[in-house]
Structure 1
Amino acid sequence: MRGWLLALLLWLALAAPAHARDEGHFISHEVPSAFVPQATVTVWLPPGYARETRRRYPVVYMHDGQNLFFKERSGYNKIWAADRSALRLIADRKTRPFIIVGVDHPGKERYQRYFPVKVAEPLLRAGIESSAGPLKGDAYLRFLADELKPLMDRIYRTRPQARHTAVAGSSMGGLISLYALTERPDVFGKAAAVSTHFALIGPDDLAKAPGLGETIKGAWRVYLYNQLRAPRGRKLWMDHGTATLDAHYAPYQQVIDAEAKRLGWRQGRDFESRVYQGAEHDENAWAARLDEIFGWLLSDWK
């Protein structure tokens, strides 16, 4: 009975007048978890999903779900407009149709949820937790990989393999996206780490502690050496702007790029690292380059 009801609700959500242009459909879920508080998840299904009942679709999992699709839900009246980017790329045949799963952030605990716990050495981690609270990146990753993705694979016609599963986010969301690629390559085969906060802490805190920046760079070198490994078919997009918070990112990004190359990742094929002159640290900037991000990362979904 429960399965029949779910199927009926899904059909009703996808039903549209015959004359209406199909621009995809949104469905919202409240997803319980053993690892994080119940999460609000917004799913965008691409055009044709309801008609092509045998077709299966790759999936992009994105963080900060409030800021992906609807301005009225966003914290800053700015959005990625991720569905609009997907529509353009699909229409231009730059990638095959794909599903987007947007996971809401938890509000004031966003920093802790998206923190890549294993990157920080014990002393640095202890200092961060003493001020910010317990770091929860590992718990969130378990939710994504072991609870949410299996649920989405049951409800929707997905292509469940890692090569057909991407994860994307910005700032702290960029951190947890890279972390997903390194910690769970069995689940996530592609990642977009946009305007990634590789510094781990804020520029004011870094300025108060001379030498801390070098410690953080060293922590990244150790972590990537142990965890990133060879690409083996994975793809990684990274970028940053040069204004506002992004102005502080270049020295850290250079470390990440160098380590990726040392481990056999080839720029332009396995990973990309781009700088957007004048771009700020906000959703408008990320929306402006999302076609480029998706276009490169998802180019083999054809």
Structure 2
Amino acid sequence: MIEKKYIEMEGIFSGSRVVNIYLPNDYHQRRKKYPVLYMFDGHNLFFDEEAAFGKSWGMKEYLENNDVQLIVVGIQCSFEGNERMSEYCPYDLENYYGEFIKGKGNEYLEWMINVIKPMIDSEYRTKTDRKNTLIGGSSMGGLMAAYAGIKYSDVFSKCACLSSSFELCYDKFMEDVISSQPRKGTKFYMDIGSTELENEYRRVEYTSYMLEICHKLQSKGCNCYPRLIPGGEHNEASWEKQVPVFMEYLL
């Protein structure tokens, strides 16, 4: 089942957000506690009618049909101008159109950790330790999930990073990877689709970014599963097909 909460943003953020919370089939029949997966772009996860482009990840069906013992918290992004990219990037940068983007990603993660996680832990039966706290997303959300794994591995131990937008800030991100000390054993699932980019050189370049990041993380004692997906695209229909793969790896 899915429960909804409406959260008012504060500080440098604006507006209110919908938080979709998936509860396992047996949540109300048992007294057990569950791991929690926090995900970006929460409106795209469960229902086609709520998804930005009319197609969701189909996670509700996957979780129910496979009786996955996991709470999933999907937080809606901002739809105001470039705010999604601003919230989902830890660095100041220019976007694909040359527009300046003020990076609020680190503050956004601190909001998730200091506001959203305590709320979920207080209102639901959760396993609160890092071993049972996961984070995931795609595109800019994938970048944020990876950043959370290197900067906040004391909170998140498992990260699903699909089609991550490393190309926008590869040098800065790699600097953070090199200087960071993520906890050993932190798990990263990373992928990129073979048809996400029409230009062959860029496909190779972006795949190289992902592999170099995985290599550096593994040298620090992390566990990484990098994948190049034949025919994979940069959309929800493609990411839906990867749900069973990253779930099996992370769990």
Please, what TM-score do these two structures have when normalized by structure 1? 0.74
- Residue identity in the other structure for 1:116: P
1:113 to 62, 80, 87: 87
- Using the TM superposition, give the Cα deviation of residue 244 of structure 1 relative to its aligned residue in structure 2, in angstroms: 2.8
> 2:59 is matched with which residue?
82
Q: Offset at 1:138?
A: 1.6
Provide the residue aligned with 2:185 in structure 1.
Answer: 233
Map residues 1-302 of structure 1 onto 2, 5 A cutoff: 25-35=1-11, 36-37=13-14, 38-52=16-30, 54-90=31-67, 97-107=69-79, 108=81, 109-117=83-91, 125=92, 131-200=99-168, 216-227=169-180, 229=181, 231-245=183-197, 248=203, 249-265=206-222, 270-298=223-251
Aligned-residue RMSD, C-alpha: 2.0
Please give the secondary structure, in 2, of the residue aligned with 1:80: coil
- Distance change >3 Å, CA 264–CA 186, structure 1 → 2: closer
The two structures have a TM-score, normalised by structure 2, of 0.89
Q: 2:183–2:221: 8 Å Cα contact kept in structure 1?
A: yes
8 Å Cα contact 1:171/1:195 also seen in 2: yes
In 1, Cα distance between equivalents of 2:174 and 2:2: 40
Question: How far apart, CA to CA, are the structure 2 residues paired with 1:164 and 1:261?
Answer: 21
Q: Does the C-alpha gap of structure 1 residues 155 and 245 become closer, same or farther in structure 2, counting only changes over 3 Å?
A: farther
Q: Which has the higher helix share?
A: 1
> Is there any run of 5+ residues in structure 1 with no aligned partner, and where?
1-24, 91-95, 118-124, 201-215
CA-to-aligned-CA distance 1:93-118 (integer Å, 9 cap, x gap)? xxx5110111001013111110022x
Query: Aligned partners of 1:191, 1:251: CA distance in 2, in Å?
Result: 19
1:167–1:188 CA contact under 8 A, matched in 2: yes
* Mapped contact 1:171–1:194 kept (Cα < 8 A): yes
Aligned partners of 2:142 and 2:163 also within 8 Å: yes
Inter-partner Cα distance in structure 1 for 2:24 and 2:158: 19
- Give the Cα–Cα distance (whole angstroms) in 2 for the partners of residues 148 and 230 of structure 1: 22
TM-fit CA distance, 1:33: 3.7
Give the aligned residue type for 1:297. L
- Structure 1 residues 133-178: Cα deviation after superposition (integer angstroms, max 9, x where no partner): 3221122111111100000000101111111010110000001111
CA deviation string 1:24-51 (max 9, x = no partner)? x111101234343332101110111111
Q: Give the letter for the 2:88 counterpart.
A: Y
| Partner secondary structure for residue 153 of structure 1 | helix
- The verdict on how the C-alpha distance between 1:230 and 1:26 changes in structure 2, with shifts beyond 3 A counting, is closer
Task: Work out whether residues 112 and 132 of structure 1, in 8 Å CA contact, stay in contact via their aligned partners in 2.
Answer: no
Instruction: Answer yes or no: is the 8 Å Cα contact 1:116–1:175 preserved in 2.
Output: no
2:44–2:236: 8 Å Cα contact kept in structure 1?
A: yes
After the TM superposition, which of the residue ranges 54-63 and 36-45 deviates more from structure 2?
Answer: 36-45
Post-superposition shift, 1:282?
Answer: 0.5
Tell me how many residue pairs correspond in the alignment.
241
CA distance in 2, matches of 1:275, 1:89: 25
Distance 1:99 1:126, change over 3 A: closer
1:63 aligned partner, one-letter code: F
- 8 Å CA contact retained: 2:93, 2:101: no
Q: Secondary structure at the match of 1:71?
A: coil
